[in-house]
Chains A and B, each alone.
Chain A
Amino acid sequence: QQQVKQSPQSLIVQKGGISIINCAYENTAFDYFPWYQQFPGKGPALLIAIRPDVSEKKEGRFTISFNKSAKQFSLHIMDSQPGDSATYFCAAREAGAGSYQLTFGKGTKLSVIP
């Protein structure tokens, strides 16, 4: 049972282009949606996160767009750079007392080519 579906599996973008990664979920109890960035040989690191009461959050070149009715959210990387080449994971957390585990998507390997 895959609670968070992420696409695409891999993505190649030219330097300066826009990278878009999409995630969809079914569980309406999810109340927190972070994105993690992972470089080879490293653990995932929190990149940006959003709560469902807003439709968009921007931090520098990274933007999360959130569509509550469609149960979808996406990560946009503007002006993509070779240094952005990494694997990106979306995740979701279910609200509720005592529940504090993140469910991760399967990841998107992004390659930004010069």
Chain B
Amino acid sequence: DAGVIQSPRHEVTEMGQEVTLRCKPISGHDYLFWYRQTMMRGLELLIYFNNNVPIDDSGMPEDRFSAKMPNASFSTLKIQPSEPRDSAVYFCASSRRPGRGYYGYTFGSGTRLTVV
């Protein structure tokens, strides 16, 4: 299993540009999460999906952020327009359905976004 795959690993963009982050979850995982990590705020949940359906997007900072999961093997997080304060590491994580013996998330390696 290749794990959760995120692309790109690094993204540098100019303020005002559109940024798209991509995630391929582990096959068979029903849940997909997008987190943002900064020094000041730590790991923040932005949005999560269950069976490709968005369940909770209350963590999405503002309308400039949007996320989609068109199928079970692909999700995107889009920022349009991007701002310098969006600079952070964005993680995607996936998980199986909660059960008696397994509740862990598997995280991808993250996308480091720098908006200049």
Query: Interface of A with B (CB < 8 Å)?
Result: 32, 34, 36, 41-46, 49, 89, 93, 98, 100-107
B35-56 near A? 1/0 per residue, CB < 8 Å: 0000001110100101000011
Question: In this assembly, does B95 line the interface, its C-beta being within 8 Å of a C-beta of chain A?
Answer: yes
Query: Interface of B with A (CB < 8 Å)?
Result: 4, 31, 33, 41-43, 45, 48, 50, 55-56, 91, 93, 95, 98, 103-110
Tally A-B pairs: CB < 8 A.
50
Question: Across the interface, do A49 and B104 meet the contact criterion of CB distance under 8 Å?
Answer: yes
Q: Which of B55, B95, B107 contacts A44, CB < 8 Å?
A: B107
Question: Across the interface, do A107 and B48 meet the contact criterion of CB distance under 8 Å?
Answer: no
Q: Which label, helix, strand, loop or mixed, suits the secondary structure of the B interface?
A: strand
Question: Across the interface, do B104 and A34 meet the contact criterion of CB distance under 8 Å?
Answer: yes
Question: Across the interface, do A104 and B43 meet the contact criterion of CB distance under 8 Å?
Answer: yes
Question: Across the interface, do B91 and A101 meet the contact criterion of CB distance under 8 Å?
Answer: no
Question: Across the interface, do B108 and A43 meet the contact criterion of CB distance under 8 Å?
Answer: yes
Q: How far is the CA of A111 from the CA of B49 in the complex (A)?
A: 35
Q: How far is the CA of A34 from the CA of B41 in the complex (A)?
A: 19
Question: Across the interface, do A43 and B107 meet the contact criterion of CB distance under 8 Å?
Answer: yes
Q: Which of B33, B48, B105, B110 contacts A46, CB < 8 Å?
A: B105
